[in-house]
Amino acid sequence: MSAFHNVLATNDDLPITTDLPVHSGKVRSVYWLNNKQSKRLIAAKGYNVAADSPLAVMVISDRISAFDCIWHGEGGLQGVPGKGAALNAVANHWFARFRDAGLADSHIVDTPHPLVWIVQKAKPVMIEAIARQYITGSMWRAYAGGERQFCGITLPEGLQQNQCLPELLITPSTKGILKGIPNVPAADDVNVSRANLEANYGAFNFATPADINRYETLLRDGFSVISQDLAAQDQVFVDTKFEFGYVTDANGEEKLIYMDEVGTPDSSRIWDGAALRAGEVVEKSKEGFRQFLLNHFDDADILLNKQRMLERSALAANNALPLQAMQDISDTYIGIAEKITGRKLDVSQRPKEEIIAVLDQEYGLIR
- Section 104-120 average pLDDT: 97
Q: How far apart are CA 162 and CA 279, in angstroms?
A: 10
Handedness of CA 211, 102, 173, 60 (dihedral sign): negative
CA pair distance 308, 324, nearest whole angstrom: 27
- What tens digit of pLDDT does each residue of 317-353 get? 999 999 999 999 999 999 999 999 999 998 998 999 9
Task: Tell me the pLDDT of the chain averaged across its residues.
Answer: 95
Q: How far is CA 173 from CA 128, 178, 193, 338, in A?
A: 5, 11, 8, 31
* Strand order across the 320-321 sheet: 64-66, 69-73, 320-321
Phi, psi of 154 (to 5 degrees): -100, 125
Half-sphere exposure of 30 (CA within 13 A, CB side): 14
Q: Which one-letter amino acid corresponds to residue 250?
A: A
How many Å apart are CA 110 and CA 278, to the nearest integer? 42
Q: What is the DSSP letter of 307?
A: G
Q: What percent of the chain has pLDDT above 90?
A: 93
pLDDT of residue 172: 96
Tell me what pLDDT residue 46 has.
95
Residue 120: pLDDT band with limits 50, 70, 90: very high
| 3-state percent helix, strand, coil for the chain, nearest multiple of 5 | 35, 25, 40
Q: What is the pLDDT of residue 4?
A: 62
Percent of the chain with pLDDT over 70: 99
Whether residue 361 has pLDDT greater than 80: yes
Is residue 5 very low, low, confident or very high in pLDDT (cuts 50, 70, 90)?
Answer: low
SS3 184: coil
* 176 vs 304: CA distance, rounded Å: 19
Please give the class, per CATH, of domain 123-244+267-277.
alpha beta
pLDDT tens per residue, range 153-199 = 999 999 999 999 999 999 999 999 999 999 999 998 899 999 999 99
pLDDT of residue 6: 87
- pLDDT for position 1: 47
d(CA 125, CA 173) in angstroms, rounded, equals 11
Q: What does the pLDDT read at residue 346?
A: 87
Q: What angle do CA 234, 237, 243 make, to 5 degrees?
A: 145
Fold of the domain built from segment(s) 1-122+245-266+284-367: Phosphorylase Kinase; domain 1 (3.30.200)
Find the angle CA(185)-CA(176)-CA(319) to the nearest 5 degrees. Answer: 110
Which helix or strand (DSSP H or E) is residue 296 part of? helix 287-296
Query: Cα(278)–Cα(281) distance, rounded to whole angstroms?
Result: 9
- pLDDT tens digits, residue range 265-314? 999 999 999 999 999 999 999 999 999 999 999 999 999 998 999 999 99
Helices and strands per DSSP (H, E), number in the chain:
11, 17
DSSP string, 11-65: -S---B--SSPPEE-SSEEEEEPPHHHHHHHHHHHT-SS-TT--EEEEEE---EE
pLDDT digits (tens, 9 = 90+) for 69-101: 999 999 999 999 999 999 999 999 999 999 999
Beta bridge partners of residue 167, listed in sequence order: none
* Structural domain boundaries in the chain: 1-122+245-266+284-367, 123-244+267-277
Domain 1-122+245-266+284-367 and domain 123-244+267-277, same fold? Reply is no
3-state secondary structure of 365: coil
Predicted model pTM? 0.94
